[in-house]
Structure formats: structure tokens, C-alpha cells
Structure 1
Amino acid sequence: MVRLTIDLIAKSRNHFKKKRGLSFPEYLKTLTHLHFSSKNIEDIGDLSMCRNLAVLYLYDNQITNICNLGFAYNLTHLYMQNNNISQIDNLCNLHKLSKLYLGGNRIAVVEGLEQLSELKELHLENQKLAPGEKLLLDPRTLRTLADSLRVLNINNNNIDEIRDLSLLKEIQHFSAADNKLHNTEELEDVFKHWPLLLEMDLSGNPACKKPKYRDRLITVCKGLEVLDGREINELTRQFLINWKASKEAKKKKNNKHFLTRPMIPHHLTSKSLNTVAQKLEIPLSRLLNRAAVSSAICSPVDA
């Protein structure tokens, strides 16, 4: 089993470049970046001598557990995509962590991030899930990330609804391509809570095939610049926003007109209706139309 330890760092020519006048322990204290991707590493050992570690590259390995990183108070970037991690844990001391890459693992529930209030990017794409399983995000983690998270990638995780994500009001870049999102109304309800959204990718979801899908999302996401890899023309956006506002105003006016127009009692005779039409200065045919509607509304229903 390959284990990431101080000895492994010492054996690596890429890392052990002893500076003049520094012992190896002193050198370890100066390290800010560790590059150990694609090294068949299965476990993380004691690295506590690397107290100033800020960026750790461990992607494309065989790691099953996140461990022994409690010392890394200065860590800001952690790259652990494409390993065999099934649970997110032991990150509670990493208060400065701003970017976390965990795509291509075996994570089914996103949790254990309740102490990461500075996290700005979370990458969780392409989890190796069991058949019928979908990626879930714990509400406690979402509440913690609500004021900090700017980038979220949950591509290809069998996700069929994202209503709980409306808490993430600081989101600027959102990727949820190749999932099972189908409810356009739900998407609109979520995205109206994201005023800072600039770029979004929902390609490969059933919702993309719905009528007016793109038009509807553009009118809701008023700051969106790119949708599904295509830039949004500002003139197009303004036209769609104006068209939607005009349509809603017209609908509201028609509803108001219907509710306020005079109701014609259904029992009036033809002569009475003719007299009413003359007083209202409208054609008798239009008045008869109103009489029909009034009759349908006011007449008692047969038992």
C-alpha cells in the first residue's frame, strides 16, 4: 500500500529541493504546495510537519478516506477528485478551505462541511453511485454554505430536483448537466433566489426539451451571461423580459375586465335586454353574450 508520508516527500525529487542552510524539517515547514496526483496513493499519513500547507493535489489516486488533515489550518485548496472516497469527513479544522474538488468518487450524501464557512467552490461531478441512487446534499451543509459558495458542480449524479439549493444565494456558476431535472417551474423557483448567477449548464436534462425552456430561464435569471454553453445576447434578454411583462400585464387587465364588467340577470326578457342595450350604448348581440355568461354564472345548479 502506498501511503503519503514525510518519508515519501523526502524521496520525491519534485519536492525535496533542499534550500541552502535549511534542514529537511525546516524545509517541510516552508512547503505550501504538495503535488502527489496519480501516485497510486491509498492512504494519508502524518503530514503535520507541513504546517504551512495551502494547496494539496491528491487527485487520480486510490484514497478511500479523508484523514490526517486536521493540522492543515492554512489549507485553501484540496484536490481529491477521482479517488474511492465514499464519505466526506475529517475536514472540520480546515476553516480557510475555499476550493474542494471531490468529483469522480463514491459519495452519495454531501455532508460534513458544516465548519467550512469560507468554501467558495465545491466540485462533486460524476460520482460512482449504485444503480438507482442519486446524490443528496445535507440541509445543514447547505445552510453553512449559503453565504459563501460561488461555484457548484453536480454534473451527472442522477439528480431529479434541486429545490433545497435555493438557499445558496451567492451562487455565480452552476453546473448540473446530465441529470434528471424535468420540472421547469421548480428550476424557475430556485433560480429567482440566485441574483448573482452568471453561468449555468443544465444540458442533458429532460427540462431542456420543454417548450420555451431557454426563454423562461433567461427571463428569470436577469444577470445570466451563459446558458448551456451559449452566450446570452443582451438585446434578446431585454426583448424576452419586456415580452413577458407585457403578456402578464395584458393577462392581468383581461382578468380585471372580466371581474368588473356588469352582470346581466338571466331572467330578463328580450324587450328588457334591448332597453338595457340602448342605455349602455352597446350592440344587443354583445349584451346577449354577457347575458349568456351571466346566466351560466348566476343560475342555480340542477340538483
Structure 2
Amino acid sequence: MKTKEGELLPRGRKIQNSKTHLYYDHKNLKAIPQMNLSTACVIYLHNNAISQIENIQSSTLCALYLQCNNISEIKNLEEVKNLKKLYLGNNEICVLEGLNQLGQLEELHIEKQNLPMGTSLCFDPRSIMCISKSLKVLNISDNGIESLSGLMPLRHLTSLCASNNRLKDIEETCELLKFWFYLKNAWFQGNPISKKHRYREDIIASSYCLDFLDDKPVSPSSRNFIKCLENNKLKKSSRPSIDLTQIVASAPDNYPPPLKNAVSASLIHSQLHIFGPLDVHIKNPISIVRGKPRLKKKPPHNRLNKEDSHSFPALFAYGMGSAWK
């Protein structure tokens, strides 16, 4: 049994309520009892049979544990405006709502809701906007969620667990990561996007300071390398591409595309004497004449022509006469 986060008590030991911590967990409660909350900071009501949130009015309350109950709706939290941690996992909540007054909330755990087959957890835009400036930790795993677009206003997130959902659009997820500037820990395993080619590289390239992805560390050197690689790809994709087969007219149609490009590049290089990418407008396209292969131009030689023999002495011309006959 847990008392505080990460702290376990020996079996059989009873937990005594204090002025700041109230323990009502594992008592098979069907409703939240009346409690003196004047000095309460933490209330443990998890692992009961509670069906609705009620009887919680405290200006000092910081953490509320309500996981593993039968709650189907988030409501009656208007009087706990200073609440910082809310645990609602393993309930029956289908809409994330009722958080309009929780402007100090920093952690929200609403994972593994027992929802009907084919349904998923939805997000109320008003509640998301109210907690957008304070929320840092969000756990929405195992809820059949297909899109995270409704969470875009949460720009102060540092930890997001969205594993085991139905996220399919990797491009949408990467675009959302660009809005979450402070995100350091993310979990997306168990989604269709995690099976995409270069999934990890795309997620890291879209984030700013991600330290862990699916429990695996992201080193600064690997992050910088992936970002530089993606930037180079963007620069190359932004340059206008030139189809060499369009520049060189009448190329044989039976040539495969790679061979066409190679032949066209070779002809253009020999014609223009340039290197690197082509950015010169060619007025007269080069044509290939079928059946007449290009012949190499022979270099100049020192053999004398017959017409130039008159400028040489007669003795020299006599000796070379046999070569001109």
C-alpha cells in the first residue's frame, strides 16, 4: 500500500490520518464521506467503488487520488482551486471536462478508462484552455485516442504519456510537438505511428528539448545530428528540380529513367562545361541522332598537308613525295 508517491508501507500496518494527509483508500466506499478538510493537503480515495466526485471543498488541497473507482464524470471541483495533482486513472470517464476552475493544476493522470468498445477519451476545449498555462504532466495512455490535436494549447507540458492509443498520423503528431517547447519526456509506443519508418527520427527532429522517448534516452549529439539532417532535407526539397530528360530532346524512349538522366547529364556537361546542379537556361536543347554514335574529335597532329609543300625546300619535298602519292 502506498502512502506518498513511491513510498510503501509494510503489510498489516494501519495508516493514521493526519492534519494534512487523509487516507480513505481500499475501504470499499461507494461515496465520498464528509471530511474535515480545513488543513488537508492530500486525500487518498483510490481503490474504492466511488461513482461521483462530491464533498470535496478545500482551499488547501494540493493532491487528490481517485484512481480505480467507478467515476464517469468529472465535476464538483470548483472549490479546490489550488489543486496541483489529480489522479483519475482506471475509471469510466469518457470526456475530459470539469476543470474550468483548476488554474493551478500541474499533473493530470487519466489513463486506462473503462470505455465501451470503439469509443475514446475526448477533450473539452474549455477545460484544456483553463489548465493550459499550468499543466506540466499528462497521462492519457490506453484510452483509444486517435488524435492529439485537442491538446495543442498545453504549451507548458514537460511530460506526455500517450502510449497504447490509436494515433495514426505521424505528421500531425510532429506538428503538435513543435508547439510543446518544454517537452522532455514522451511515450508513444503501442500506437500505429510507432511502427512508421523513421518514427523515432521524425519525433526527435520535431521536438526542441526531448530527453527521453519511449523510455530511451535522447542524447544532445544525436538530437543535433537528426535536426541537421532534417534541415538539409528541407533545403534540398525547397530547391527547384530540373528534369534532365526534358532538356535533352529526342532521347530514346526505350532507355530506363536512370540511364536517360545519366546520358542527358553527360551531354549537357560536355556542351556547357559546367559542374554541379544545373541552373542555366538552355535555349537550344541537344538532340540525339539514332544510329549515329558520337565520334571523338581527333587531336591535331604534325603531318604536313600536300598544299603546304611549296613552302619547303625542294630537297625536303622530294624526300616526302612518296608519302603523298
Question: Normalising by the residue count of structure 1, what TM-score does the alignment of the two structures yield?
Answer: 0.76
Partner SS state of residue 30, structure 2 = strand
Describe how 1:25-44 pairs up with structure 2 within 5 A: 31-44=19-32
Match of 2:47 among 53, 57, 60: 60
Cα deviation code 1:174-212 (max 9, x no counterpart) = 000000001000001111000100000011000000111
Cα displacement (A) at 1:244: 1.0
Q: 1:86 to 1:244 in 2, by over 3 A?
A: same
Describe how 1:135-284 pairs up with structure 2 within 5 A: 135-253=121-239, 255=240, 258=242, 282=272
Cα displacement (A) at 1:250: 2.2
Question: Gapped runs of 5+ residues in structure 1?
Answer: 1-11, 17-29, 267-276, 293-303
| Residue correspondences, number | 248
RMSD: 2.8
Q: Which residue of 1 aligns with 2:293?
A: none
Work out the CA distance in 2 between the residues paired with 1:252 and 1:287. Answer: 22
Partner SS state of residue 172, structure 2 = helix
Question: Normalising by the residue count of structure 2, what TM-score does the alignment of the two structures yield?
Answer: 0.71
Cα deviation code 1:19-40 (max 9, x no counterpart) = xxxxxxxxxxx71110121111
Work out the CA distance in 1 between the residues paired with 2:114 and 2:49. Answer: 14
Cα deviation code 1:257-291 (max 9, x no counterpart) = 759xxx98x9xxxxxxxxxx99xx627xx958958
Q: 1:108 to 1:290 in 2, by over 3 A?
A: farther
Letter in 2 for 1:15: Q
- More helix per residue: 1
Work out the CA distance in 2 between the residues paired with 1:216 and 1:188. Answer: 7
Match of 1:83 among 58, 63, 69: 69
Do structure 1's residue 96 and structure 2's residue 82 form an aligned pair?
yes
Of stretches 77-86 and 236-245 in structure 1, the one that deviates more from structure 2 is 236-245
Work out the CA distance in 2 between the residues paired with 1:290 and 1:42. Answer: 85
Q: Which residue of 1 aligns with 2:116?
A: 130
Work out the CA distance in 2 between the residues paired with 1:76 and 1:150. Answer: 15
Work out the CA distance in 1 between the residues paired with 2:27 and 2:129. Answer: 36
Cα deviation code 1:76-115 (max 9, x no counterpart) = 0000000000000000111100000000000000100000
Moved over 2 A (4+): 12-16, 250-253, 286-292
Work out the CA distance in 2 between the residues paired with 1:81 and 1:291. Answer: 75
Cα deviation code 1:201-254 (max 9, x no counterpart) = 01100000011110011011120000011001222111111111112122223x
Work out the CA distance in 2 between the residues paired with 1:52 and 1:180. Answer: 42
